[in-house]
Amino acid sequence: MPSFFKRSLLPKLRGFPLTPDAIDVLSGADAYRRRLLALIPQATRRIYIVALYLQHDEAGQEIYDALHAAKAARPELDIVVVVDWLRAQRGLIGAGKQPGNSAWYQAMTQRHASEVPVYGVPVQTRELFGVLHLKGFVIDDTVLYSGASLNNVYLHKFDKYRFDRYHLIHNQPLADSMQHLVEHGLVASKAVHRLDLPNPPTTRSLRNDIGDLRSRLKHAAYDTTTGQLPNGHLSVSPLLGVGKNNPLSRVILELIASAQQQLTICTPYFNLPLPVTREINRALARGVKIDIIVGDKTANDFYIPPSEPFKVIAALPYLYEISLRRFAKRHQPMLDSGQLNLHLWRDGDNTYHLKGMWVDQRYTLLTGNNLNPRAFRLDLENALLIDDPQGQWLEPRRTELAQIFQHATRIEGYQQLQTLVDYPEAVGKFLRRVSRVRIERLLYRIL
């Protein structure tokens, strides 16, 4: 590990031992939905669902119904659903005034004799400044880890899908650790309340409790006391982070700094924090080959076709493309040599939501962290780091990467990416306006 990390975390991470056959990599969103629906009725002890949101649509209804059916069949089953407090109480962006998913949760609780509590976690008093971005479902001793939330497109219920990563890890200590954090670090907080019951408290009334929860989370961590320090064997380490210089962000930087031959990075929103850019530049300087796979702007979940009315949120994919073009222009010699490879992912009208890193032939990071300033400073994030020092898990790793690259096209040069003059008129007008008043830098920090 480079000496400039004075308090290196990577060698001190405790991990839970794994066997290669304890990790399943699913092929896509449809397979993920079907596996989730197969595991829920088989649960005998616990189901802990943690997601940014559980959406009131056909796929969300299917999951929620399955949870109620499982509880009705086994009343002793411990079922907990945890979502972001603020996200659950508003409608979809750009869809006008809506009651939000919390009204649906309340209707479901009134309709069923079985009880499936839905807890809202307020990471901040305003959604703009931080949300619950934790990932991972615990079903008995299996952890299903994906960046996907629960709705039609994330679960490929109909014709469109949002491409993510989908891993099942069969490991009781890991499942216990993740449940313990949800149960004792989140649900037990005075700031956390059920959204499936009538008249939840207002966010304003919870301001002090929310501040206390955020302060506690800055010092929280998954319990890995039963784990082992790196010992040359396959293992998985859960990581948690919120706020500036958090442990997860530090480990991400250390992973990039540890790369010696190959580094692959996925992010849907190209807006790298400055420390990440610095570590990438250092990796390039020491000869590491780097692949970065991002979504084409038309594969961004905020993209709105020019034929539809302009909304401010539709400018985001173009901001990310501007950031990518600047990065590509600065690194054009590395693109020419093939040491740096930038890839745009696109598959028809589908969208791209992949996050994570592959470091040399050893580390694989599963995470919902977008590798952007918001993830490094505002949102509550987590990750699972798979350490494979003996190369026991290389084939499934290669298979997943091959699937990701299937719809990715390499950028030969920065000139391939559009500029402001190429954008739709309404988009160009908005971006020129925010650039003139110097709001652009602020937007990059919070979006």
Rounded-to-integer distance, Cα 7 and Cα 239, Å: 16
Distances (CA, A) of 238 to 41, 78, 372, 380, 381: 26, 22, 20, 14, 11
Tokens encoding 381? 């994030």
**Catalytically annotated residue among 156, 353, 387, 388:** 353
| 196 catalytic residue (yes or no) | no
- Could you give the CA distance from residue 283 to residue 286 in angstroms, rounded to a whole number? 5
Q: What angle do CA 226, 357, 59 make, to 5 degrees?
A: 85
For residues 292 and 265, the answer to whether their CB atoms sit within 8 Å is yes
> How many residues does the structure list for the chain?
447
76 is catalytic: no
Q: What is the residue whose two structure tokens read 């925010």?
A: 434
Residue 410 and residue 421: Cα distance in Å, rounded?
Answer: 23
Point out the catalytic residue in the list 57, 164, 254, 387.
164
Distance CA 134, CA 151 (A): 16
Tell me, yes or no, if 133 is annotated catalytic.
yes
Query: Going edge to edge, which strands form the sheet with 193-194?
Result: 23-25, 166-170, 142-146, 137-139, 46-50, 78-84, 118-121, 193-194
Q: How far apart are CA 257 and CA 276, in angstroms?
A: 10
Is residue 381 part of the annotated active site? The answer reads yes
Alpha carbon distance 103, 250 (integer Å): 39
The amino acid sitting at 320 is Y
At 25, list the tokens. Answer: 């990599």
Of the candidates 133, 331, 343, 407, the residue annotated as catalytic is: 133
Of the candidates 196, 279, 381, 400, the residue annotated as catalytic is 381
Spatial separation of the C-alpha atoms in residues 52 and 376, rounded to whole Å: 17
- Residue with token string 């999951």: 63
Active-site residue list: 133, 164, 353, 381
